[in-house]
Structure 1
């Protein structure tokens, strides 16, 4: 990092430490930092239930639970589990969005067990891997997931249908007393990486990790008990689960749609008088396409995450919701780490400043500070290592506890905001030169004939790898050719960064949270350039 960039970064970090969060947060910085990792999730949820017993905590479609009702049901699940499993036992929860899923999760963490959230879209093969890798002894599930888990057997020995009489029996069992207290350093959630660049790895997150992450974000976003959040994200993903945590920590209300429908989401925001929206870029894309939408302008905060938000989409979304979506950044291993300020400038193409308690650097492979390189993090939000993967854990940290995110980025010297360039494993090395796919994608997406683009490297005997683009055309635009897009890129990028080939596709492969899965990009032979 040059002197100008370092000076700007230090200036912004000093401002952050001294005053930024005092401007945007009612609590002082020291107070926020002091309480980040305090207690356990179960204790925090119980405290909220005592303060706001009759307020609705969570509603999924038409099913709702107050904080007191959820607390009572979670206590029953916790007592039932601890009569069968020891503290620290892994419990799979595989179900679509629903209050039963939230109840099971709250009960699992209250029992001192470890929740393993699984998308209901996982195949039996994927569930077998999850159960075996986690060493899961129990599961709550519905539908096809329940049927698949029933065929798996050991180590799984307890299986309850969330949508059947078995779960009603669990809730009816009552709880004579809470399980023995557990330390905040105990694991609460065994998350799994998205696997967009390889095999998913287990990520144990402690109560302290999860509480630090969500409390820092809630403070930065001025979350109160009066807020109403609406989202249609899967609750088996940390982005959607974060909305549940927000309600159960602050006494606010979270309204979840069982599945995403753009028009229904807008209607729900209006019905609830919602103040906050969580969504991913693919959802903002659909919202921006709706004609005559005005209800979203009542939101005080619209958060975007889980995948990059292009400046063009940020502009179009702002025209509908009346504000640039607040982009933030996090990882499976470290929760939420960086956010654009609530009241400050939101710079499209950047994800903002570190949240309270987070230390952030840009490093090379040896851990030295550089202007452009890998994002590394340290703080109470960060996990301590992968599940049963000591070699992967050793590779994931620099000395001093700095977690290597695998994401590439740089600090905007003008604002001090973090900018994401992509994943280190996605870096294209062509002719010995590094090309960041995201930089090329952003250029291509400025062309009026391009709706979205994905860039990756294909093997080349001459270059080692050659920059290649897969493009979805904009439906309202005239036909565009690969040669035209390559020529367009050459007016905006150095020659070595420009695509050598362009393939047109109907859609880009994405995971459930909207991230492009580059390994699933169609083989070139299947498409004409």
Structure 2
């Protein structure tokens, strides 16, 4: 895209700003920015949670230092992958900061994952350690991780007590930080800092892997999007500009910290800008409204399902006290936009992002926010639409927001926030990029300079903001002895946006609860079919491919 076009990201900048002055790499890396801020303003409150109350920068820095020392003593070194899963807390934040500062790649996982999902990620990324707490039944995750790889060290967010470290790497871990060589798990407690974690964070290179975000693949196998420190920082700096995010802001953060919306946007943005966050371990409308009032909050980020429940509350008008509400992870119906505005006066900012890119596009802060669109490219981001020309089969590309592509075209993006590829997936990486542009798999149209998401090129169901690929659920259902074949699709749902539904060719009838339970034992709760239809045969074309658009009609026969 070129300067002067209607959708250029400079539209997001405050009046009088110069696009040439924008620096999305300011500070180098997230952990360098965070730890420097906590060191220079140690008594400032950073995050609040119900268990600990307000936690200061000094307390987070001390906890991160302790965790880093224990991890180094166990042999964790830069480049290691470390799983993290658990409810939102200051303990999680300190451990997350410690890992990033040490150069480990954080692998956040949904606490709702079941055995096969956890084992699949462990087998794929081969982590050195896992920090988990408050997920599943007692010791459940420990067993699943050990089943996949007994060498993985498992602990809680304090990283203590840790299992035996990798003795051959422990001295290297200490040497790389200026630490005294660790004495192993049985060593006496640390009597003082063995290295300066803030100084270590400043040594991180922007191109180093910082996070591997797993997303279910079209093949049914999860794949990890490798995001660098530069990717994560660029997206946060873009949002800081576009949303006028300042240290005076207080965010009510009810999104989970394994999800890019909660972690990569809500938490990373708060810590980088120097603002404050009120953590909510789960989403409940009354606790959100209480937090807005008690902490004089200014911002709330959510998914459409959350806004649907908030607007149904008799307290919906209390959203009026916020200066900004943002929605994402799933399309927000225009009717819900209108309902929120009528109940509270809030014009929700809808934005568009992915695990692979963090944030890409957002409705504007100062200009009109258009329901049904996701706005303009964020600072540093380029967007183009690529459609097939039926005359010769070659892609017909439009990157001019003033032009309207008559038919939906695939959205391609590039920018400093866009990842470089999937973990050890060379074939998928080749297919996912075109001359440096990432193929999102989403379909879009320009609408007077605003991007409108109109569909998906890939089979995907978005249920309550969570991505569900049909293939993964189909493989589980097909393992049932009474089912000959099956297909999974999505149906519109007023609360969840889309509901997962199953169509089965089976020897007997299945009620909805039986299928929910069968899938729920093997996959995360949001992947369970909410409805199951028994049909005579799956609709197929002449080549034998399932015609998914016909499934709903088949169920009514």
Please indicate the TM-score interval, normalised by the length of the shorter structure: 0.7 to 0.9
The equivalent of 1:159 in structure 2 is 154
Q: Which of 448, 455, 461 lines up with 1:422 in the alignment? A: 455
Deviations 1:60-82 (A, max 9, x none): 22423212211222122223323
How has the CA–CA distance of structure 1 residues 175 and 31 changed in structure 2, closer, same or farther, with 3 Å as cutoff? farther
Give me the whole-angstrom Cα distance separating, in 2, the residues matched to 1:469 and 1:95. 28
The correspondence of residues 33-432 of structure 1 with structure 2, limited to 5 A, is 34-36=23-25, 38-63=27-52, 64-83=54-73, 84-144=75-135, 147-151=139-143, 152-153=145-146, 154=149, 156-162=151-157, 166=161, 174-178=193-197, 179=200, 181-195=203-217, 198-241=220-263, 242-364=265-387, 367-370=395-398, 371=405, 372-399=408-435, 401-412=436-447, 415-426=448-459
SS in 1 for 2:534: helix
The equivalent of 1:434 in structure 2 is none
Unaligned runs of 5+ in 2: 163-184, 389-393, 399-404, 463-467, 471-488, 496-511, 536-554
How has the CA–CA distance of structure 1 residues 129 and 114 changed in structure 2, closer, same or farther, with 3 Å as cutoff? same
Give me the whole-angstrom Cα distance separating, in 2, the residues matched to 1:128 and 1:265. 34
How has the CA–CA distance of structure 1 residues 191 and 518 changed in structure 2, closer, same or farther, with 3 Å as cutoff? closer
Give me the whole-angstrom Cα distance separating, in 2, the residues matched to 1:469 and 1:285. 19
Deviations 1:72-97 (A, max 9, x none): 22122223323312211000111112
Give me the whole-angstrom Cα distance separating, in 2, the residues matched to 1:172 and 1:165. 16
Q: Is the 8 A contact 1:136 1:156 kept in 2?
A: no
C-alpha displacement of 1:273: 0.6
How has the CA–CA distance of structure 1 residues 472 and 279 changed in structure 2, closer, same or farther, with 3 Å as cutoff? closer
Q: Is the 8 A contact 1:87 1:111 kept in 2?
A: yes
SS in 1 for 2:63: helix
How has the CA–CA distance of structure 1 residues 48 and 27 changed in structure 2, closer, same or farther, with 3 Å as cutoff? farther
Normalising by structure 1, report the TM-score: 0.76
How has the CA–CA distance of structure 1 residues 282 and 172 changed in structure 2, closer, same or farther, with 3 Å as cutoff? farther
Give me the whole-angstrom Cα distance separating, in 2, the residues matched to 1:315 and 1:45. 38
In the alignment of these two chains, the number of paired residues is: 449
Q: Is the 8 A contact 1:55 1:251 kept in 2?
A: no
C-alpha displacement of 1:194: 4.8
The correspondence of residues 506-525 of structure 1 with structure 2, limited to 5 A, is 520=529, 522-525=531-534
Q: If each structure's helix is expressed as a fraction of its own residues, which one has the higher value?
A: 1
Normalising by structure 2, report the TM-score: 0.73
SS in 2 for 1:12: coil
C-alpha displacement of 1:524: 3.2
Give me the whole-angstrom Cα distance separating, in 1, the residues matched to 2:492 and 2:226. 37
The equivalent of 1:484 in structure 2 is none
Unaligned runs of 5+ in 1: 1-5, 428-436, 439-453, 457-467, 475-504
Give me the whole-angstrom Cα distance separating, in 2, the residues matched to 1:373 and 1:173. 58
Give me the whole-angstrom Cα distance separating, in 2, the residues matched to 1:128 and 1:57. 35
C-alpha displacement of 1:516: 12
Q: Is the 8 A contact 1:196 1:519 kept in 2?
A: no
C-alpha displacement of 1:36: 3.1
Give me the whole-angstrom Cα distance separating, in 2, the residues matched to 1:131 and 1:170. 30
Q: Is the 8 A contact 1:86 1:113 kept in 2?
A: yes
Give me the whole-angstrom Cα distance separating, in 2, the residues matched to 1:395 and 1:76. 43
C-alpha displacement of 1:29: 2.5
The equivalent of 2:7 in structure 1 is 13
C-alpha displacement of 1:127: 1.1
Give me the whole-angstrom Cα distance separating, in 1, the residues matched to 2:387 and 2:150. 42
Q: Is the 8 A contact 1:90 1:115 kept in 2?
A: yes
Give me the whole-angstrom Cα distance separating, in 1, the residues matched to 2:31 and 2:44. 18
